[in-house]
Amino acid sequence: MSKSVGTAVGAALIASAAGGAQFDSNGTTIHYTMAGSGEPVVLIHGFLGSRDEWLSPPPFLPPEQQESFEPAFETLSKDFKTIALDCRGHGRSDKPHGADAYGNKMVEDIVRLLDHLELEEAHVVGYSMGAFIAAKLVALYPDRVTSVVLGGGGALLEGSEPLAFMESLGRSLESGRGVEPLIRSMTPPGQSPPSAEEINEANRMFLAGQDEGALAQVALGLEEVTVSTSTLSSNDVPALLIVGGDDPLRASSEETQRLMMRSRVVVLPGLDHVSAELSPDFARTVRSFLLESR
């Protein structure tokens, strides 16, 4: 099959899947997209994201890169029944504002999705916040997880720096300062911190179409999805950790790998938190691992 024909087939697959479906997760409507056949794989996106990050190239990519980009959903659905959901608080799923509407309820949404689809278990792939949710899923429901991929970070450990960062992000959103901690964290070492005008412009970009009140509760609720080191050490689910070499969460990935007995880590050299997920090496490495884990 030629590259152009393959690209067209992939585009048609994604277009047919993009409408998606929905189910009721104990009163919260969760939207998802599914395509392919074989063993099931559930994809869990990151904070501020949606299932679209698995389905299509991000709009900020140059046109020539968008044309050659192969989404992870397309790559995986060639071999697996691939399911990508919008986490609560994100995308087209419901966005409750209650302080108790998130945390472990985001984990339970995955279990209810499997129940809704009448699936006993599935491979689970999470990126960033999705990795936190996936790790907690393994801790609470290991019998529902065939294997797990934690991308762009490891488990959210009790008392960890990533947990403190997510709390600061939630407080910032609550107070009307948007995602200022995230913007500041993206400033390369040695560069001047962003100005107030640059922070405002970045907030407009990151929060366009978002529900800031819901996102604040998502970030603050992540404290409930922390995992203890003893729980990780007793885990027996096969795990892959994949992270960019320049990702600030690389240390989190490597620490989690040291704790999980049946795990390995793949570091993508020269890539950061955003570019690692977009790299073709990310989707190809995940696919190889899942094929080995069948």
Nearest to 42 by CA among 132, 118, 134, 162: 134
pLDDT at 119: 98
For residue 218, count other CB atoms closer than 10 A to its CB.
27
Nearest to 151 by CA among 8, 271, 4: 271
pLDDT at 64: 81
The verdict on domain 3-158+228-292 having CATH code 3.30.43.10 is: no
Q: Where are the domains of the chain?
A: 3-158+228-292
Distance CA 202, CA 204 (A): 5
pLDDT at 252: 97
Q: What is the H or E stretch that residue 228 is in? A: none
pLDDT at 19: 62
Q: What is the mean pLDDT of each run of 10 residues along the chain (294 residues)?
A: 39 50 98 98 97 92 83 96 98 94 98 98 98 98 98 97 97 97 87 93 95 98 97 95 96 97 96 93 97 94
For residue 7, count other CB atoms closer than 10 A to its CB.
16
